[in-house]
């Protein structure tokens, strides 16, 4: 694997990338760093860890995709009839597929704030990327298991992968935010990518069912970003983006990527910082790394 074309492209465009790791067929093919490695926020890659936690809870029989949000949270419906109907029909699956019915992106700091939003369309009818969906899924998991998402994953995922206790931001009312706020190194993200590539298996232990990995990472709902040549028009799973080339990805706001190629037995992991044009990093992966896999 020759990373020079990719590295040159990053430097030509002056993109704020920190590190890249290419793993294929059981070994690292290439690594390159622009900055020393340290834990940094992974932004929305946090959502993918929440998805795995939900899958584990479903495997354990503690959650179901059909579970109703308002019942799980033991909350009363809004007084408005239409809002009551929409909130009462909202399920865990709607949250995972970002189809709860919000009109705009939101970042709630508490359950009360999340439940105060108006649903302007029926759940399941419209995709809109929204942190509230992931946060409410996190709250549902805590109600079902008695543990915050971070704590629930410590012995089920983080420690088996060799990831020492990570920091993960909490809401004002004490839940793992889950939509963002998880801090990891590039190498730790690469371990997560290998776990995904191995369909939930790690060193002979099935940490989450293969069935969950397959469902979570394939298109469950169509997406339309409105951007030209966008990687955000190819569908969404259960908190995972689907890609061309038979791949799927974890995708953080500033250019944090874990791109999994099941058919090529490969993972590309990237960390970046405050990059305003992260899609340029992704395009460079397709142009300079993918053809060598």
Q: Which helix (H) or strand (E) holds 89?
A: helix 81-89
Decide: 138 and 178 in contact? Cβ < 8 Å: yes
Contacts 24+ apart (CB under 8 A), 70-75: 72/139, 72/140, 72/143, 72/144, 73/111, 73/115, 73/136, 73/139, 73/140, 73/143, 74/143, 75/115
Furthest-apart CA pair in the chain: how many Å?
61
For 152: left if phi > 0, alpha if psi spans -120 to 50, otherwise beta; the answer is: alpha
pLDDT at res. 229: 58
Decide: 189 and 160 in contact? Cβ < 8 Å: no
153-167 confidence digits (pLDDT tens): 999 999 999 999 999
Average pLDDT of every residue of the chain = 96
Q: Distance between CA atoms of 1 and 103, rounded to whole angstroms?
A: 44
pTM for the whole thing? 0.97
User: Strands, DSSP E only, in 118-230?
Assistant: 183-184, 201-202, 205-206
pLDDT at res. 227: 60
Residues with Cβ < 8 Å from 15, sequence gap 6 or more? 255, 272, 275, 277, 280, 281
Q: Distance between CA atoms of 237 and 219, rounded to whole angstroms?
A: 5
pLDDT at res. 224: 77
Structure-token pair, residue 231: 């990687």
| Structural domains for the chain | 4-61+142-292 (3.40.710.10)
pLDDT at res. 228: 53
Residues with Cβ < 8 Å from 12, sequence gap 6 or more? none
Task: Grade residue 77 by pLDDT with cuts at 50, 70 and 90.
Answer: confident
Q: What is the mean pLDDT of residues 34-46?
A: 97
Q: Which 8-state DSSP code applies to residue 262?
A: G
Q: Which helix (H) or strand (E) holds 230?
A: none
Does 230 have pLDDT greater than 90? no
């Amino acid at each position: 694997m020759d990373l020079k074309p990719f590295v040159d492209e990053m430097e030509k465009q002056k993109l704020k990338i920190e590190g890249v790791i290419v793993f294929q067929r059981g070994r690292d093919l290439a690594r390159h760093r622009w900055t020393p490695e340290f834990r940094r926020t992974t932004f929305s890659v946090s959502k993918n860890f929440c998805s795995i936690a939900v899958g584990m809870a479903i495997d354990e029989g503690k959650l179901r995709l059909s579970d109703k949000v308002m019942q799980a949270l033991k909350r009363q419906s809004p007084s408005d009839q239409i809002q009551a109907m929409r909130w009462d029909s909202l399920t865990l699956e709607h949250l995972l597929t970002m189809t709860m019915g919000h009109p705009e992106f939101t970042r709630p700091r508490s359950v009360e704030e999340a439940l105060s939003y108006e649903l302007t369309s029926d759940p399941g009818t419209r995709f809109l990327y929204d942190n509230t969906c992931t946060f409410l899924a996190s709250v549902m998991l805590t109600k079902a298991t008695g543990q915050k998402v971070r704590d629930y994953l410590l012995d089920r995922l983080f420690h088996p992968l060799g990831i020492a206790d990570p920091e993960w931001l909490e809401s004002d009312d004490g839940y793992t935010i889950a939509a963002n706020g998880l801090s990891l190194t590039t190498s730790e993200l690469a371990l997560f990518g290998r776990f995904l590539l191995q369909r939930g298996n790690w060193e002979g232990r099935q940490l989450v069912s293969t069935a969950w990995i397959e469902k979570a990472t394939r298109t469950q709902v169509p997406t339309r970003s409105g951007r030209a040549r966008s990687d955000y028009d190819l569908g969404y799973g259960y908190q995972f983006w689907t890609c061309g080339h038979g791949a799927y990805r974890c995708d953080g706001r500033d250019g944090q990527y874990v791109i999994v190629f099941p058919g090529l037995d490969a993972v590309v992991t990237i960390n970046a910082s405050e990059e305003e044009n992260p899609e340029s990093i992704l395009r460079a992966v397709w142009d300079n790394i993918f053809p060598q896999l």
